[in-house]
Structure 1
């Protein structure tokens, strides 16, 4: 039986500004990447999202971003490896405190937006972040968004890492993602087909029709897609038919 994790970015609202549909999506996932307050989120949203995750027995991870709420953490910032490490440790500490209030722990780290891009392009930045998170908690798992980061993670002593794939975005033949500027409904059946393909065979069809290797043990679903719940319902239907076991990250590594 294939085993796979479903993760989703959560807690990205801020004050009166709402992002995503966390309450409706949470019952369908196994890991939540919760914003740490820099690119999105605030103390109240963090608390509410941790409570929601704990209620549904969903694994908690921090989704740290660059300090850029106006740009939603998607704009580049000139920061040294040490500065980026501190950004991650700061946000990890905040989320850990909320998790402890609810008898939960933080299990993983998945950087967001421009921070993720920075780590993908610079092994020095990636290694600094990974070593920093291990200094806080050596049980933490790094959720790697691309192969560049995953390969760096393999060389960091004591670090457990999981490679993630995407099914509600299209891949190019080189395994890079095609990210649309505007969010639109995704075909639930097509997305569910991709989920099964990655979970059972480790492959998916790229936009040009070529079959590419995606050796993922976790699948990211974008909770802010307009029909994310319909997509997740279709995935859960396939999970039962294909005997795929949905598990949290610690059960994978």
Structure 2
């Protein structure tokens, strides 16, 4: 039986900005990319999300970002390598401590937003992030965009890696994501999103915005927690995948 992980970006809520229904998503997904606080979230909110992830036996991943709360971590930045490495190490350490405090553990790392997209193609920043992960815990798995340069660098550094596809994001013909500033970047129809993920698992391809098919080899599928209708999209994607005989299971040991 084919198997796939479902993940979502969570722990991003704070009193002034609520963007996701973490409790509902944690009853659907098998992995949670939990904010480390640099781009969104509060310490108590992140702790609550971690507690719920443990209760639901959902795998926990660290979701480090650029220091960019004003723009939700979605503005490309050019920090020096030593700064970026230190800031990622700082974020990983904080989340690992909070996870341990509630009886859980961080099993993998998936960078957020602009940092995620940058290290899919930028070797310098990718090497800084990989160095941070190795320094903190070389047992952590690096989750990144299928085909991204960071996965090659991480594997070369001895880290385990996993590739992901995006249920609710548009793809360019080269396999990268459509920038959020362009049309077709974010998908909203639950049935369309679900059907394209079933096709991805069954045939290994996803339709790009120009109508061509892009080959994507992924072990995990992301449904963004802050997308409109995220819970409905995640539930429908899970339902249709399971209906097609595809097992939903975490890509790491919980």
Q: TM-score, normalised by structure 1?
A: 0.92
Q: CA deviation at 1:116?
A: 2.1
Q: Is the 8 A contact 2:146 2:218 kept in 1?
A: no
Q: CA deviation at 1:38?
A: 0.7
Per-residue deviation, residues 13-42 of structure 1 (Å, max 9, x unmatched):
223321122122111101111111111112
Which whole-Å CA distance do the structure 1 matches of 2:122 and 2:238 have between them?
37
SS at match of 2:132: helix
| Residue of structure 2 aligned with 1:200, choices 199, 202, 205 | 202
The 8 Å contact of residues 199 and 217 in structure 1, kept in 2 or not, is answered as no
Residue 206 of structure 2 aligns to a residue whose secondary structure is strand
Give ranges in structure 2 of 5+ residues lacking alignment. none
The residue aligned with 2:225 is 223
Aligned to 1:35: 35
In 1, Cα distance between equivalents of 2:41 and 2:189: 29
Q: CA RMSD in A?
A: 2.0
Query: Superposition pairs for residues 230-245 of structure 1, below 5 Å?
Result: 230-245=232-247
Q: 2:161 matched to 1:155?
A: no
Deviations 1:188-237 (A, max 9, x none): 11111111122222111212221210111111101112212221222222
SS in 1 for 2:120: helix
| Superimposed CA distance per residue, residues 107-158 of structure 1 (whole angstroms, 9 cap, x where no aligned partner) | 111111222233234212212221221222121010112422222223222x
Report the more deviating stretch, 179-188 or 19-28.
179-188
Aligned pair count reads 251
TM-score (norm 2): 0.91
CA contact (8 A) 1:127 1:156 kept: no
Given that 1:169 and 1:179 are in contact with CA atoms closer than 8 Å, whether structure 2 keeps it comes out as: no
The answer as to whether partners of 2:242 and 2:248 remain within 8 angstroms in 1 is: no
Matching residue of 2:76: 76
Query: Which stretches in structure 1 are left out of the alignment for 5+ residues?
Result: none
Question: CA, structure 1 residues 77+212, in 2 after alignment: closer, same or farther (shift >3 Å)?
Answer: closer
Once the two structures are superposed, what CA deviation does each residue of 1:38-61 show, in whole Å capped at 9, x if it has no partner?
111121111111011111111111
The CA distance in 1 between the partners of 2:175 and 2:53, in whole Å, is: 31
